[in-house]
């Protein structure tokens, strides 16, 4: 079975507070873009993984491997899966590539093994793999709270060209949370909810979104801050960091400005553009 595992961006990201279990409560809007990994999944007696990105583990440390193991444990099935991953999503970039791959494996094997596990069970398994993995089981964009698993699906057909710029910098998510908590002395301010501010015009909603991690990531990495400013200078109506970084994205109202930005940044960085009103293909 061949499936596509799409990347996501965060249209705003607020850290609400730290939980007793050590995680943080967040508020964000997840939105898929037209950048994806390609997975070929076949039934096999054992679990095996191959990947075009040789820097990634292909053993039990890989989230896709863990996804197979969780499904085996849940269903009692003893067979495995042979998974080939063609990576296009940058690693450790705030785009959810590993999480999306894992969710694609859960979805595909639920079909291939005729398990008929309902969405609630799959979401429970997904959450064991990572806080944002449940989102990738959805078919639409979503407003998220909690660790990111409390999801409200929403139709968010953005009328903008989305230009990604990945500066080849890895930002550790645990470091970002720890540093932000230190920076704020453990105090996270209240603010209007993102889902009350969603809009599709340049004057409203999502275009006023912000990302709490920018204040500490920019201090550590001036190059990322510079990309944000350059996106605005090139005509982006919003430039924002995705997740805990390091990818920046800009929303552009016209294709010419977007293509100009792509040309400008592609001389030095990984760049990708998603067309307006993009809707990902379903793997079901």
User: At 28, is the secondary structure helix, strand, or coil?
Assistant: strand
Residues 6 and 142 both lie in one domain: yes
Question: In the Cβ-directed half-sphere of 277, how many Cα atoms lie within 13 Å?
Answer: 1
Per the CB < 8 A criterion, the answer to whether 248 and 228 are in contact is yes
Q: What is the CATH number of the domain that holds 96?
A: 3.30.230.10
∠ Cα 185 187 175 (to 5°)? 60
> Which pair of structure tokens corresponds to residue 72?
């085996």
In which domain, by residue range, is 201 found? 161-274
> What is the per-residue pLDDT across 222-264, written as a single tens digit (0 to 9) for each?
999 999 999 999 999 999 999 998 999 999 999 999 999 999 9
Domain count, the chain: 2
Identify whether residues 11 and 150 lie together within a single domain. Answer: yes
Last residue of a domain, one of 94, 122, 154: 154
pLDDT reported for residue 16: 85
Helix axes of 97-112 and 119-129: crossing angle, nearest 10 degrees: 140
Query: Is position 279 within any domain?
Result: no
Q: Which two tokens stand for residue 244?
A: 């805990």
Question: What pLDDT is attached to residue 284?
Answer: 64
Q: Give the tens place of pLDDT for each residue, 79-101.
A: 999 999 999 999 989 999 999 99
Query: Which of 137, 154, 171 is a domain's end point?
Result: 154
Among the candidates 110, 135, 154, a domain finishes at 154
What are 112-147's pLDDT values in tens digits?
999 999 999 999 999 999 999 999 998 889 999 988
Q: What pLDDT shows up at residue 64?
A: 98
Is residue 8 part of the annotated active site? The answer reads yes
Instruction: Tell whether 17 and 138 lie within a shared domain.
Output: yes
Q: Are 134 and 243 contained in the same domain? A: no
- Same structural domain for residues 8 and 125? yes
As a whole number of angstroms, the distance between CA 130 and CA 147 comes to 9
Q: Given the residues 66, 132, 212, 228, select the one marked as catalytic.
A: 132
191 and 246 together in one domain? yes
CA atoms within 13 A on the CB side of 30: 31
**Per-residue pLDDT at 253:** 94
Domain presence at residue 280: no
pLDDT digits (tens, 9 = 90+) for 179-192: 888 887 766 666 65
Q: Looking at the structure, tell me whether residues 140 and 8 fall in a common domain.
A: yes
49-76 confidence digits (pLDDT tens): 999 999 999 999 999 999 999 999 999 9
| Residue 90 φ then ψ, to 5° | -55, 145
Would you state the pLDDT for residue 56? 94
Residue 284 lies in a domain: no
Q: Is residue 103 part of a domain?
A: yes
Task: Flag whether 281 is in a domain.
Answer: no
Based on the fold, state whether residues 142 and 196 are members of the same structural domain: no
Residue 172 in domain: yes
**pLDDT score at 193:** 58
Place of tokens 């064991």: 128
Q: Are residues 145 and 207 in the same domain?
A: no
Q: Which residues contact 209 (CB under 8 A, 6 or more apart)?
A: 11, 12, 29, 194, 197, 238, 240
Q: Give the pLDDT mean for 7-27.
A: 86
- The answer to the question of residue 217 being in a domain is yes
Average pLDDT over every residue of 201-214: 68
Statement: residue 203 has pLDDT above 50 = no
Residue 172 sits in a domain of what CATH number?
A: 3.30.70.890
**Secondary structure class of 107 (helix, strand, coil):** helix
The reply to whether 283 falls in a domain is no
Query: Residue 200: what pLDDT?
Result: 41
pTM strictly above 0.75: yes
In the set 8, 66, 87, 228, the catalytic residue is 8
Q: What is the pLDDT of residue 19?
A: 80
Give yes or no: 196 in active site: no
What pLDDT does residue 147 have?
Answer: 86
Confidence at residue 192, expressed as pLDDT on a 0 to 100 scale: 55
- On whether both 8 and 120 belong to a single domain, the answer is yes
Q: Give the C-alpha separation, 105 to 107, whole Å.
A: 5
Long-range (24+ apart) CB contacts under 8 A made by 228-232 are 230/264, 230/265, 231/163, 231/165, 231/261
Closest CA to 3 of 96, 69, 101, 94: 101
Claim to verify: residue 142 and residue 171 sit in the same structural domain: no
Same domain, 7 and 147: yes
149-175 pLDDT, tens digit each:
899 898 888 899 999 999 999 888 888
């Amino acid at each position: 079975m061949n499936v596509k595992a799409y990347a996501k961006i965060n249209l705003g990201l607020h850290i609400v507070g730290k939980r007793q279990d050590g995680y943080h409560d967040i508020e964000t809007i997840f939105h898929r873009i037209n950048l994806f990994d390609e997975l070929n999944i076949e039934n096999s007696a054992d679990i095996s993984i191959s990947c075009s990105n040789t820097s990634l583990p292909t053993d039990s440390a890989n989230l896709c491997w863990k996804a197979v193991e969780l499904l085996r444990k849940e269903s009692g099935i003893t067979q495995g899966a042979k998974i080939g991953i063609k990576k296009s999503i940058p690693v450790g970039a705030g785009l959810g590539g590993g999480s999306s791959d894992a969710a694609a494996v859960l979805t595909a094997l639920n079909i291939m093994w005729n398990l008929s596990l309902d969405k609630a069970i799959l979401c429970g398994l997904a959450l064991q793999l990572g806080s944002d993995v449940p989102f990738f089981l959805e078919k639409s964009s979503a407003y998220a709270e909690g660790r990111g698993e409390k999801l409200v699906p929403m139709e968010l057909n953005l009328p903008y060209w989305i230009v990604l710029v990945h500066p080849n910098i890895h930002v550790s998510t645990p470091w970002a949370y720890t540093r932000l908590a230190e920076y704020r002395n453990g105090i996270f301010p209240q603010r209007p909810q993102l889902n009350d501010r969603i809009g599709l015009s340049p004057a409203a909603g999502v275009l006023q979104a912000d990302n709490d991690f920018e204040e500490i990531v920019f201090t550590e990495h001036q190059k990322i801050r510079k990309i944000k400013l350059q996106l605005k200078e090139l005509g982006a109506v919003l430039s924002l960091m995705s997740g805990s970084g390091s990818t920046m994205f800009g929303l552009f109202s016209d294709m010419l400005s977007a293509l100009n930005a792509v040309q400008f940044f592609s001389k030095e960085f990984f760049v990708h553009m998603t067309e307006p009103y993009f809707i990902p293909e379903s793997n079901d």
